[in-house]
Amino acid sequence: MKDNFFKYIHELQDTITSRFEKIDGKAKFQEDIWKRPEGGGGRTRIIENGNIIEKGGVNISGVHGKLPESMQNYFGVKDADFFACGLSLVIHPKNPMIPTVHANWRYFEMYNKKGEIVDQWFGGGQDLTPYYLFDEDAKHFHKTCKKACDLHNDQFYKKYKMRCDEYFYNTHRNEARGVGGLFFDYCKATSDISMQDWYNFVTEVGNSFLNAYIPIIEKRKELSYTESQRKWQEIRRGRYVEFNLVHDKGTLFGLKTNGRIESILMSLPPHVQWVYDHKPKHGSEEERLIKVLQNPIDWV
Amino acid sequence: MKDNFFKYIHELQDTITSRFEKIDGKAKFQEDIWKRPEGGGGRTRIIENGNIIEKGGVNISGVHGKLPESMQNYFGVKDADFFACGLSLVIHPKNPMIPTVHANWRYFEMYNKKGEIVDQWFGGGQDLTPYYLFDEDAKHFHKTCKKACDLHNDQFYKKYKMRCDEYFYNTHRNEARGVGGLFFDYCKATSDISMQDWYNFVTEVGNSFLNAYIPIIEKRKELSYTESQRKWQEIRRGRYVEFNLVHDKGTLFGLKTNGRIESILMSLPPHVQWVYDHKPKHGSEEERLIKVLQNPIDWV
């Protein structure tokens, strides 16, 4: 399972980065291979200052060794070994008419002293953060997510869409980070679902990613925008930073366990603004976005 | 004590905001009076887009009522009432040759059910965050801090300078936020020091603030700077955001206890950049700054 999934994310990283380079037409991903002193490492790929992508990262990592103390406490286990691998991506387009996208698919194994697997699970998801809301884009993204889910279980989409709305939520702002997508975690074998079933589901979702996002870029990339729309995008990117640094468990976990900082914080947007008490105009597109973020919509 | 200190911070806010308006020469503070539903409120004063100050806030608040649950757990008490007041300020100058400054002076009282004071303390400090390091500015700031401390206790400066270096530290970057200053907390009465002594000390420090910072503005405000120096400032401001959102206890506490978000997050800089794996050139001024932030200096 671990070898299959590790191989899968390597190939998926290649597929995704070459597709983004093709659509961008200018910038290329820069690759950094890094090692984790305690075991494992990663392949970070960053793209900056493209025609379409202002900043983005598509990273894979596979780490293993003794379970760090903070994780021992978190999982309530002692002296375990672990293996974890995953692909994480964030794309911040330049044009405020194109939403930011985030995705992550990961697999985790825990071992006893004999090296036997005592626990294993998948996790992940993908979600969209628009600055100007085109309903048809949110619908397309969610429909693509639902299609991937429905091939495996007709309850998954509803369940994981809701979890996504709950997870990517800036409680201190009373609003969602974006229009959501899917979020799932601790996907373990049960009497109904084997680990192979989960593998099939997670890779189905991973394979659906480009279909969910690329058509949105294609549709919006030629749209013109004003300075003030760009300012709105940079202010909203501030909310993205707030979520990632205050609430996102993965980011905080990485920062507190000596992860590779530049790979973790590649998720932060390139240009960001904080304006005191900024409020969109009554009846504006900007105000409509906020209202949707405060009351998540059923897009499908 | 509480009435005296509350009156003091009102007057200090007036003194500080009028001095900043005078030196800026263009922008004026905009005032927001707010109420806390559970008791108390504040007077937020924000300045934006000035000649010198790109964004800044000088805020006071005085809040009281039942101690929120999260604070009960933090202090290990039950069913207590509290009163807390303080002044918080952050100034982000436009010119990267002028450092950002932060200061905070606060007072806290806790009561039993009969309304008797069961605990009380002062806290606070002031610290400097340069983008280009002029040693004489850091020395002037620290000397002014030391002078205020020395009038009260010849151990205070050394002790609170060290605490400041420890507190304003981005552990995930292995570097200090800036060149420090003073940081003190839980300043309670002992056999040697009365609450009145602490009051005298804290107000001495508060009164020294403008002397510590304004001469630095005066000295640097006419210096010219390049686009690339401005970019460096915006990247370093990203570290300021990281500290405030990941590590600063006051900020996180405010966000998690339903504080007034816009008053808390006024500390975030106006324009910020995150560039992947940005490294200053070997032998540059930018590199020298990083080295100093990694190894705090004795400035006095």
Mean pLDDT of A186-201: 96
Q: Is B49 helix (H, G, I), strand (E, B) or coil?
A: coil
User: Does B300 fall in a domain?
Assistant: no
pLDDT beyond 80 at B233? yes
A142 is catalytic: no
Whole-complex ipTM: 0.95
User: Does B299 fall in a domain?
Assistant: no
For residue A43, what pLDDT is reported? 97
For residue A258, what pLDDT is reported? 75
User: Does B228 fall in a domain?
Assistant: yes
For residue A27, what pLDDT is reported? 98
Contact check, Cβ <8 Å, B273/A271 = yes
A265 contacts on B by Cβ (under 8 Å): 242, 274
| Residue A285 amino acid letter | E
Model pLDDT for residues B147-182, shown as the tens digit of each residue: 999 999 999 999 999 999 999 999 999 999 999 999
Residue A124 CA to residue B268 CA, distance in Å, equals 31
Of B172, B275, B277, the CB nearest to A255: B172
Please count the structural domains in chain B: 1
Contact B81, B64 (CB under 8 A): yes
Of B246, B261, B271, the CB nearest to A173: B261
* Range of lowest pLDDT (A113-117, B20-24, B230-234, B274-278): A113-117
pLDDT beyond 90 at B49? yes
Phi (first) and psi of residue A87, to 5 degrees: -120, 130
Residue B105 CA to residue B32 CA, distance in Å, equals 20
Question: CA-CA-CA-CA torsion for A205, A210, A211, A215, nearest 10 degrees?
Answer: 150
User: Does A299 fall in a domain?
Assistant: no
Mean pLDDT of B214-232: 98
Of B266, B271, B276, the CB nearest to A262: B276
pLDDT beyond 80 at A30? yes
For residue B252, what pLDDT is reported? 87
User: Does B11 fall in a domain?
Assistant: yes
Question: What is this structure's pTM?
Answer: 0.96
Using CA coordinates, name the residue in chain B closest to A272: B272
Q: Percentage of chain A with pLDDT > 70?
A: 100
User: Does A48 fall in a domain?
Assistant: yes
B230 contacts on A by Cβ (under 8 Å): none
Q: Could you give the angle at which helices B195-220 and B135-150 cross, rounded to 10 degrees?
A: 160
B273 contacts on A by Cβ (under 8 Å): 270-272
**Segments forming the whole domain that contains residue A32:** 2-294
Contact A170, B255 (CB under 8 A): no
pLDDT beyond 90 at B261? yes
Model pLDDT for residues A124-179, shown as the tens digit of each residue: 999 999 999 999 999 999 999 999 999 999 999 999 999 999 999 999 999 999 99
Q: Exposed/middle/buried for B236, CB within 10 Å: 0-12, 13-18, 19+?
A: buried
Task: Based on DSSP, count helices (H) and strands (E) in chain A, helices before strands.
Answer: 9, 10
Confidence of residue B122 (pLDDT cuts 50, 70, 90): very high
Contact check, Cβ <8 Å, B272/A270 = no
User: Does A300 fall in a domain?
Assistant: no
Compute the mean pLDDT over every residue in chain A, rounded to the nearest whole number.
96
Residue A120 CA to residue A188 CA, distance in Å, equals 6
For residue A79, what pLDDT is reported? 85
For residue B3, what pLDDT is reported? 96
| Residue A139 amino acid letter | K
User: Does B185 fall in a domain?
Assistant: yes
Quote the distance between the C-alpha of residue B169 and its chain's center.
14
For residue B257, what pLDDT is reported? 72
Confidence of residue B255 (pLDDT cuts 50, 70, 90): confident
pLDDT beyond 90 at B68? no
Q: Could you give the angle at which helices A195-220 and A2-24 cross, rounded to 10 degrees?
A: 0
Higher-confidence position of A256 and A285:
A285
For residue A75, what pLDDT is reported? 82
- The alpha carbon of residue B254 is apart from the nearest alpha carbon of chain A, in Å, by 9
For residue B253, what pLDDT is reported? 81
Check which CATH number belongs to the domain holding A261 and give it.
Answer: 3.40.1500.10
Element containing residue B59 per DSSP (H, E): strand B53-66
In terms of Cα–Cα distance, which of A154, A215, A293, A172 is closest to B259? A172
For residue B250, what pLDDT is reported? 87
A273 contacts on B by Cβ (under 8 Å): 270-272
